[in-house]
Amino acid sequence: MRGLSGDFSTMPLKDLVVYLGNRRVTGALKIERGDVRKQLELRDGHVVTASSNQPREFFGQFLINMGHLTEDQLEKAFGTQAQTRVFLGKILVMTGLVPEPTVRSTLSHKFREMVLDAYHWNEGQFSFEASDSAPEVAGLDVSVDLLDIHREGEFRETAWEAIRAVFPSGAVRLSVDEKKLPERKPGSMDERIVQLIKDGLSINGIALALHATDFFLYQRLYALYRLDAVKVSDAEPEPETAVVVEEEQDTSVIGSESSSDEVLQAAQLFLDAGNVRDAEALARRAHEMSATPQSAEMLKTAQARLLVELRRELSEPARVPALQVAPAHLKTLALSAPERYLLSRIDGRRDVAAIVQVSPLQELDALKFFQGFVDRGLVKLAPR
């Protein structure tokens, strides 16, 4: 078999995993849905490396989420990596921050989660390119059998049925009975979950604050539910728009009633004039109205230009953000979960780039939020 491609509406990922696993293939598997892209390198039916553009699926985020590393330690490890070009896992082992068995088990967990997170995609595309030779692994040699991943996926289908019967949506808020909680260590995952529940976050907000993949968080919440320590609150669920908030559109703005072609043309005009922010907003609107190769290319170009501009304005050279309003006042503002997360990371010490680097958000999205903070007077930037 030299190659294979298709979409998940005709061949679900779980069927593809079994197909490739049984044939013990070697090569590269790419899967994508919307803006989410993942790539797996396979050797004899085993995943040997995996990458994703979702920050919550970065290796460092898994280490933080599982309690093996702090954000400060990860930030220092990234600094060493930038100087040495050595893979992160090897740096952590060499410096003694994380034992090698822990690094290996976390990498294995990452490979599994990246695949299983996409098991329920009903849309999206995949492509597999076979190779005659096994890919070289520059980091630690870790592999996970595709068939083992599939067997775990079958177990999770049953688990998700039970979980969804209790937690029907990520928008719901929770309540906690601390008297029924098991003993927990300070800084542990359960301790952090409890505090975020008390802060009034929805499950979606908790997942963002913890850098957590869905199954990792939901299985822990379900375990606490079984102890009668956590349940769905009577509080109003979080609006679906609260996780990724779009600014309200003025009906007089180009794109409110125009055709997608007109919006795309306007985006090009703004881009040519150097107005990158409005160009990116219009390109995104055009792509949402009618996704075409032209709109996708325009959006990609505008986003790349905007990323360069925001980096220059916010983090090159390094700038340290400082809150300009009292934390108590922040709680009264209508902020999205990503906004509250980023504001909570401001400590007067870390610069914008450092906060963005260890956040569970895409770099462009995080920088756009920071620009909004500055524009609204919530944050002031000062040179390091």
State percent of the chain over pLDDT 70: 92
- The per-residue pLDDT for range 11-40, each reduced to its tens digit, is 999 999 999 999 999 999 999 998 889 999
Cβ pair 119, 14 in contact under 8 A: yes
Q: What is the pLDDT of residue 136?
A: 64
Q: Which helix (H) or strand (E) holds 180?
A: none
Q: Residue 384: which pLDDT band, with cuts at 50, 70 and 90?
A: confident
3 state DSSP class of 16: helix
User: Cα(101)–Cα(142) distance, rounded to whole angstroms?
Assistant: 11
Q: Which helix (H) or strand (E) holds 287?
A: helix 276-289
- What's the mean pLDDT when you consider all of the chain? 84
User: Cα(279)–Cα(291) distance, rounded to whole angstroms?
Assistant: 16
- Map out the domains of the chain as residue ranges: 3-158, 167-241, 260-314, 319-383
- The per-residue pLDDT for range 255-265, each reduced to its tens digit, is 333 456 767 77
- Per the confidence metrics, is the pTM higher than 0.85? no
Q: Residue 41: which pLDDT band, with cuts at 50, 70 and 90?
A: very high
Which CATH number is 167-241's, of 1.10.3470, 1.10.12, 2.40.10, 1.10.10? 1.10.10
Whether 2 shows a pLDDT value over 80: the answer reads: no
Q: What is the pLDDT of residue 1?
A: 58
Q: Which residues contact 159 (CB under 8 A, 6 or more apart)?
A: 215, 219, 222
**Could you tell me which of 168, 255, 253, 265 has the C-alpha nearest to residue 218?**
168
How is residue 212 written in tokens?
A: 């957590």
Helices marked H in 50-169 — which ranges? 59-65, 71-84, 88-94, 100-116, 146-166
Least confident range of 21-25, 105-109, 239-243: 239-243
User: Cα(235)–Cα(232) distance, rounded to whole angstroms?
Assistant: 9
Q: What is the pLDDT of residue 124?
A: 92
DSSP annotation of 202 reads: B
Q: Residue 144: which pLDDT band, with cuts at 50, 70 and 90?
A: very high
Distance set, CA 20 to CA 150, 155, 261, 278 (Å): 11, 20, 41, 44
